[in-house]
């Protein structure tokens, strides 16, 4: 299958090329670090940013949180999330 975008560089605002379910964990960082987080089921996302800030976001199904999130905490997180790379 032809890929008309093969020669283009991926940026933080580019469409995802890989996705995986985020498994919240109080002790471990995400690996790999996603370009954004997609909400699959409503909930609250408690996370740490690249800058070390710990933030909590109410999320609804279909919402995308762009940004370099390093950790999604088990404590304080509800809902289902996917990492997009």
Give tens-digit pLDDT for 12-67.
677 788 999 999 999 999 999 999 999 999 999 999 999 999 999 999 999 999 98
pLDDT value of position 27:
98
Closest CA to 62 of 80, 77, 85: 80
Position 62 scores a pLDDT of 97
pLDDT at position 2 is: 84
User: Residue 4 burial (CB < 10 Å; 0-12/13-18/19+)?
Assistant: exposed
């Amino acid at each position: 299958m032809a890929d008309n975008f093969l020669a283009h560089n991926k940026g933080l605002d580019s469409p995802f090329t890989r996705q995986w379910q985020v498994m919240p964990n109080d002790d471990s960082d995400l690996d790999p670090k996603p370009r954004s987080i997609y909400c699959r089921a409503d909930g609250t996302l408690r996370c740490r940013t690249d800058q070390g800030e710990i933030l909590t976001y109410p999320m609804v199904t279909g919402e995308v949180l762009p940004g370099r999130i390093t950790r999604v905490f088990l404590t304080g997180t509800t809902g289902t999330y996917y990492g997009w790379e």
